Chains A and B, each alone.
Chain A
Amino acid sequence: MEIKKKNIYISAILAFIFPGLGHIYVGNLKKGLLFMLILVSLFLIGLAMKGGIIVLDEDLFFISRLLQICHFFNGSMFFITLLFSKFFGLGIEFGDITYSYYEIGQLFIIISALLNILIIFNAYDLAKNMFCEKEIKE
């Protein structure tokens, strides 16, 4: 059986752009779709619970900076929400700190971003293993 060579960087970048795309690129369609479904639903539940994707902290304390970097790993979901919110003037990117479940919403979005980091590494790893298998077979 011939294994098609996959670019490790493209798989990682695709996984960053949208969760699950890296796995689909590597050839693992079922896992890719599952990751996509889970992470998008986590992100949307987070937004529904009025969690924000921009950290409101004037001094930008160390933990807040880390949190902001973490939000960035949602990839295109982060940018789409930002653009959508700016375009329609919804203001959902900050969330609603007065809402009772704001923290839970924030937690959902953060976990979606952290899981995306894991998925990026996994897609990279899968592509690399395929590359190694190809080299061994040759």
Chain B
Amino acid sequence: MFIYFVSFLLLSFLTNFVFYLTSEENYSIVWKKTLTSTFNFVGILLLIGIIVFFLN
């Protein structure tokens, strides 16, 4: 389970980073947007995890 979580976190971070790197020129904006998106993704992932846990 831990490997799944770390993998999704890594994938989310790198995907967002590459995505924002292609569209932005300023690196500080790229970092800021990447971290915000990754944080949102982790939040949604945890929320889904909690819902599934309680439904079971």
CA distance A34 to B31 in the complex (A): 13
Q: Which residues of A contact B (CB under 8 A)?
A: 31, 34-35, 38-39, 42, 45, 101, 104, 107-108, 111, 115, 118-119, 122
**Nearest Cβ in chain A — how far from B26, in angstroms?**
12
CB pair B21–A35 under 8 Å, yes or no, is: yes
Interface residues on B, range: 10 to 19
B residues apposed to A, CB below 8 Å:
3-4, 7, 10-11, 14-15, 17-19, 21-22
A108 to B7, CA, bound (A): 8
Chain B: CB-nearest residue to A100: B3
What chain B residues lie within 8 Å of A45 (beta carbons)? 10
Per DSSP, are chain A's interface residues mostly helix, strand or loop, or mixed?
helix
Check A111/B15 contact, CB under 8 A, given A31-B21, A119-B22: yes
Other-chain residue from A39, A101, A108, A118 in contact with B19 (beta carbon distance below 8 A): A118
- In the bound complex, residues from chain B placing their C-beta under 8 Å from that of A38 are 14, 17-18
Q: Which of B11, B18, B21, B22 contacts A108 (CB 8 A)?
A: B11
Task: Tell me if A115 and B15 are in contact (CB < 8 A).
Answer: yes
**Cα A104 to Cα B3 with chains together (Å):** 9
